[in-house]
Amino acid sequence: MTKSVIPEVLSPAGSLEKLKVAIKYGANAVYLAGQKFGLRAAADNFTYTELKEGVEFAHKHDAKVYVVLNSFLHDKDLEDIEEFISYLNEIKVDSLIVSDLGVIKSIQQYSNIPIHLSTQASCLNRYSGKLWKKMGVERLILGRECSLEDAKKIKQATGLEVEMFIHGSMCMAYSGNCVISNYTQGRDSNRGGCAHSCRFEYSIQFNEEEQRKHSFFMSSKDLNGLRVLEDYIKAGIDSVKIEGRMKSHLYAGTMSKVYREALDYYREHGNFLSEKLEQWSQELEKVSHRAYAPVNLKQKAGSDTIFNERLIVKDQYKVIGQLMDKVDGEFGLLHVRSAFLPGDTLEVIPFRGEAFEVKVDKILTLNNEEIEKSKPSTLVKIPYHPQMEIINLVRMRLQA
């Protein structure tokens, strides 16, 4: 029997801190951007030193770093690219994610860094894959419109590595084919300025006599591929990608952990026939999200993949913070993001295995003063637990 290839878990790293969180929680690779050339101008993104530090941290933990240069660049944007590519070459990033042929050619001129074709290029079929292979691309990040069956055939026909999104927000438009922000907000959506106009409410009228219908008709449900993870493996997908460089530490950590644990389980057992599948699924529910759908993975996305609401699904949990330090046997030092009270039970998410509870009878400041309520952007001491590790994320169940 041919042994299945287990795909890598590729997680978003919107900042150096999120990179560390994603890798500690199991990401095999992370994707991130420098201060320019990516598609998330509002994300923190990485300075030169942070990039170097991020690559060193990743390589030390056997993880890879892919740097996005997936904007559709104008001539003047390309003026600075040589220096940036040379630097990325020097610090040994593992690949560059690119959508623009001009950028591909520039990279090839200045370095030998492997090139992954961004989903932004909307590579959707085997002939498209063949063309990009001739352009020197080593991996295809397929358009989100592709099914797993499409992906399998593209991989077979091209022999290239194939990466597919498995989780997160979805563009409703073919990627690279939406310029609403350009014309309505003066921000180039294909150079990092997307204003997410597809998430707005619109009123629609089919004829002048008819009353307008209010709808979020352009908003897509979020992708969740956990239940069809086995199909990714059977299709030979090399990398499962989690969307969301703008999302929280909790998101980056939880997604990395769930998909890594699931794939590790498959590696060991050759199936997902486990009650853990339900547990992993529940973990995905604990992070802020829109309603989930498999979108295009098994069949063409239908009307049930439209998220016709403004708000995300009501959260079951809230992010409490992150463990910054600990004194063994004494306390864990929590950097608070959301308030909690004495008497609350917190859940600490370990890098591996199930979350464990910490009952907080009293909250102490660093001066050992007892306080009635923790405040965001403060450091507090919580009871020590032997499983606690620095960088662990902490959450709390919300009352029903």
Q: Find the shortest distance in angstroms from Cβ 209 to another protein.
A: 13
Among residues 60, 300, 314, 372, the one that binds another protein under rule CB under 8 A:
300
| Touching another protein, residues 50-69 (CB under 8 A) | 50, 53
Q: Looking up tokens 């089919």, which residue turns up?
A: 206
Is 47 a binder of another protein (CB under 8 A)?
yes
Check: CB of residue 400 under 8 Å from CB of residue 342.
Answer: no
Q: Cα separations (Å) of 398 from 145, 160, 284, 315, 319?
A: 35, 45, 16, 8, 10
Instruction: For CA atoms 338, 343, 345, 351, give the dihedral sign.
Output: positive
| Residue 133 or 397 having the CB closest to another protein | 133
243 in contact with another protein (CB under 8 A): no
Binding mask 13-42 for another protein (x = CB under 8 A): ----------------------------xx
User: Under the criterion CB under 8 A, does residue 379 sit at the interface with another protein?
Assistant: yes
Q: Which residues contact 199 (CB under 8 A, 6 or more apart)?
A: 216, 218, 219
Instruction: Confirm or reject binding of residue 147 to another protein (CB under 8 A).
Output: yes
Identified binder of another protein from the candidate list 112, 211, 377, 399, rule CB under 8 A: 377
User: What tokens appear for 310 in the block?
Assistant: 């403004």
**Considering the rule CB under 8 A, would residue 128 count as an interface residue with another protein?**
yes
Structure tokens at 272: 């997902």
Q: Which of 61, 92, 212, 234 binds another protein (CB under 8 A)?
A: 212
**Which C-beta is closer to another protein: that of 93 or that of 255?**
93
Other beta carbons within 10 Å of 270: 13
Buried b (16+ CB within 10 A) or exposed e, 287-297: bbbbbbbbbbb
Burial code (b: 16+ CB inside 10 Å, e: under 16) for 39-52 equals: bbbebbbbeeebbb
325 contacts another protein (rule: CB under 8 A): yes
Q: Which of residues 172-211 bind another protein (CB under 8 A)?
A: 172-174, 176-180, 182-188, 190-193, 197-198, 200-206
Listed in sequence order, the residues at least 6 apart from 155 whose beta carbon sits closer than 8 Å to its beta carbon are 161, 162, 235, 236, 237, 238
Binding mask 76-95 for another protein (x = CB under 8 A): -xx-----------------
Report the distance separating Cα 242 and Cα 28, nearest Å. Answer: 12
Asked if residue 268 binds another protein (CB under 8 A), the reply is no
**CA–CA gap between residue 108 and residue 102 (Å, rounded):** 10
- Of the candidates 102, 105, 140, the one whose C-alpha atom is nearest the C-alpha of residue 123 is 140
Least distance from C-beta 264 to another protein, angstroms? 28
Residue among 28 and 147 whose Cβ is closer to another protein: 147
Distance CA(129)–CA(135), nearest Å, equals: 10
Query: 125, 281, 288, 338: which one contacts another protein (CB under 8 A)?
Result: 125
Of the candidate residues 5, 273, 312, 366, the single one contacting another protein (CB under 8 A): 366
Residue 154 found at the interface with another protein (CB under 8 A): yes
Q: Rule CB under 8 A: say whether 105 interacts with another protein.
A: yes
# residues near another protein by CB under 8 A: 102
Give the residue with the Cβ less far from another protein, 284 or 371. Answer: 371
Angle at 133 between CA 132 and CA 134, to 5 degrees: 90
Cα 124 to Cα 301: distance, rounded to the nearest angstrom: 15
Binding part of the chain for another protein, among 46-54, 84-92, 262-270, 281-289 by CB under 8 A, reads 46-54
- Binding another protein (rule: CB under 8 A), the pick from 324, 359, 362, 387 is 324
DSSP states of 219-242 as a string?
PBPEEE-GGGHHHHHHTT-SEEEE
Minimum distance from CB of 376 to another protein (Å)?
A: 8
Q: 120 or 224, CB closer to another protein? A: 120
Q: Is 227 in the site for another protein (CB under 8 A)?
A: no
Q: What's the closest the beta carbon of residue 295 comes to another protein, in angstroms?
A: 9
